[in-house]
Structure 1
Amino acid sequence: MLHSLAGVLRLSPAETRHLFELAGHALPRSTGADFDVRVLQRLVDALDPHPAYLLAPNWDLLARNRSETGLIGDPADGRVPEHNLLRLVFTRPRIRTLLVDWPGQARALLEQCRAGADRHAGDPAFEGLTADLYRESGEFRTWWDTHDVADFRSARRTFDHPRLGRLTFDYVKLAVVDAPGVTLVSCLPSDEETAAKLPELGRLAQQHPLASPQAPADR
């Protein structure tokens, strides 16, 4: 009803948020699908050779640059990469070998997901995502049932890359103000060895092109 009223009054996004606050209701969070991702794709691309990606509230990868593709997409695989970060981490075997501390990193992502689950109550797509992962992944099922939650914290992740060896990054997440719930994640090399290998990530993505995540498939 409040959304309809905002539409009739032609309220701006800021005015709509204020209306919801006055009514004592939380404004439903964006899925990330209602803004033009191309506007931020240019920013993500400009961060090359540092890996970077856009993440929707439902954990869909809305965009990423070549270096991110070179980092998380196995160039020798040739398969279309998964468009959802949680599905990618919990259902793709190669990610288990790519992330040096897979259990710790995967559990941290799941706890962040659970922390925001109440904001997706009644969302069939999100409920379908967690139901699928609960069925398909024993680790997801075990950790989900602990009910542990956590906020995002800047983290250091080490990768055992099939072509470039050890790569270590510090992850930084930034909020996109005009797309509530959408975040920009940038990966900064934590040592000189990783920094020296950054140009190779983009070259690997060019040699073995993978599908863009800009249009997540319907589920």
Structure 2
Amino acid sequence: MPSFSASGNGPAAGLDRRAELSEFLRNRRARLRPSDVGLADYGRRRRVPGLRREELAQVAGVSVSYYTQLEQGNSANVSVEVLDSIARALQLTETEHAYLTHLAKPTRQRASRPSPRTQRLRPAIQQLLDTMTDVPAYVNGFRMDILGWNRSAAALFGNWAGLPPEERNWGRLIYLSPAMRDLFIDWERKAGAIAGILRMHAGSHPEDPQLASLVGELSVRSEEFRQFWAAHEVRRKRHGALRFNHPLVGELTLSYETFPLPDDPDQALITYHAEPGSESATALRLLASWGTDATTTVG
């Protein structure tokens, strides 16, 4: 289960940053063997999987006591240089490195802008979405809320306009909607990605009560979410391809691209397109032509 910090706003005012930092470091250390970091194992039996704290500290070039304090969630005096060394020793990806820094140095990352309680889409961005008639497109907020979309996105993903605003959220849609399990052929891949993206945003906004509430809700209502969350995977939505099984046009493969909005990096425009001349392109054109008439079959 995720860790929460309490406040006067309720039992889940935000994610417990210190607990998350501790769990993330332990999880990543457990994934490495001595041979992964150039240390001799000598065939000794280990009581716990992965590197010992003293081994990780040796590779990172810090004292064992210093690293132990950090793994216990005490990051008050940690420097960016030490975090960089620990990230290299743990062989973190760029996204995982950023997540570690968000957790360990929150004031450095978020001093200039607190987490907004409500995110809104600029009208000009919705106008842009509306002009993209042949390309499914939508805008996400940092809680994975769907803030705006076009007719093609509604034809592909379902009638979002018919849902209450709080249900227009990728976490709730993926883990709690049976229709989404049918739509995404690689549902587990999509579900894992959503959990990883939510964890990345939780690191950036650990004190946001609405994000913490969402994570808590999904943890209670979905066994799959609990399993993915416990894996401590961290993701960013960037680009790739997804396979769909749409009830009207059948199977199609679409590539997606992610574009952070320049005036609000917590919002991102996501577009989908098919390879020109492919069967998927033909199916996508059909969906785009039907527009909202197709939404009654999904969602």
Instruction: Report the TM-score range of the alignment, normalised by the length of the smaller protein.
Output: 0.7 to 0.9
Q: Which amino acid aligns with 1:80?
A: L
Matched, 1:98 2:186: no
Query: How far did residue 158 of structure 1 move?
Result: 0.6
Q: Counterpart in 1 of 2:72?
A: none
The residue that corresponds to 1:137 in the other structure is: 222
Shift in Å, 1:190: 3.1
Contact 1:29 1:180 in 2 (8 A): no
Find the partner of 1:122 among 204, 207, 211.
207
Match of 2:293 among 202, 207, 211: 207
Question: Relative contact order (alpha carbons < 8 A, sep ≥ 6): 1 or 2 greater?
Answer: 1
* Equivalent AA in structure 2 for residue 164 of structure 1: V
Report if aligned partners of 1:31, 1:57 keep a CA contact under 8 Å in 2.
no
| Compared CA separation, residues 178 and 31, structure 1 to 2 (3 A) | same
Partner residue, 1:72: 157
Determine if the alignment matches structure 1 residue 157 to structure 2 residue 242: yes
Q: 1:47 aligns with which of 127, 132, 149?
A: 132
1:58 corresponds, among 143, 149, 162, to 143
Q: Per-residue deviation at 1:180?
A: 2.7
Q: Residues 66 and 201 of structure 1 are in contact (CA less than 8 Å); yes or no, is this contact kept in structure 2?
A: no
Report the residue type matching 1:45 in the other structure.
D
RMSD over equivalenced CA pairs, Å: 2.5
- Kept in 1, the 8 Å contact 2:200–2:235? The answer is yes
- 1:197 maps to 283
Distance 1:34 1:79 in 2: 20
Query: How much does 1:36 deviate?
Result: 4.7
Give the alignment's TM-score, normalised by structure 1: 0.76
Name structure 1 gaps, 5 residues minimum. 1-22, 211-219
Stretch moving more, 79-88 or 136-145: 79-88
5+ residue gaps, structure 2, are 1-106
Richer in helix (by share): 2
- C-alpha change, 1:201 and 1:30, in structure 2 (3 Å) is farther
- Taking structure 1 as reference, are residues 32 and 190 closer, same or farther at Cα in structure 2, changes over 3 Å only? farther
CA shift for structure 1 position 32: 8.7
Q: Which amino acid aligns with 1:202?
A: A
TM-score of the superposed pair, with normalisation by structure 2: 0.57
CA distance in 2, matches of 1:39, 1:189: 26
Q: Secondary structure of 1:59's partner?
A: coil
1:148 aligns with 2:233: yes
